[in-house]
Amino acid sequence: MSIAADLGPVVGVGYRHRAWLGVAVGHGAPLVGAERVWGVDATVAGGLTLLLATPGAGLTGTAAVRAGLRGDDALLTAGVVVPVAVRLDWPVALVVPVDLETTAGLRLGGVWVGARGSLGGAFVPGQPPSLGSQLSAWVRLTER
The residue type found at 124 is V
Q: Give CA–CA dist 41/95, Å, rounded.
A: 24
Rounded percentage of the chain residues whose pLDDT exceeds 70: 92
Question: Considering Cα of 138, then 141, then 142, then 144, what sign does the dihedral take?
Answer: positive
Residue pair 112/142 in contact (Cβ under 8 Å)? The answer is yes
Query: Is the pLDDT confidence value at 1 over 80?
Result: no
pLDDT tens digit sequence for 101-137: 999 999 998 899 999 999 999 888 888 888 888 888 9
pLDDT at residue number 116: 93
pLDDT tens digit sequence for 29-55: 999 998 889 999 999 999 998 888 778
Rounded percentage of the chain residues whose pLDDT exceeds 90: 47
Query: Is the pLDDT confidence value at 11 over 60?
Result: no
Residue pair 66/77 in contact (Cβ under 8 Å)? The answer is yes
Average pLDDT over residues 69-86: 93
**Domain tally, the chain:** 1
Q: Which residues on adjacent β-strands are paired with residue 78?
A: 67, 102
Q: Which domain holds residue 89?
A: 2-142
CATH code assigned at 51 = 2.40.160.20
pTM tops 0.75: yes
pLDDT at residue number 59: 92
Query: Mapping DSSP to helix (H, G, I), strand (E, B) and coil, where does residue 35 land?
Result: coil
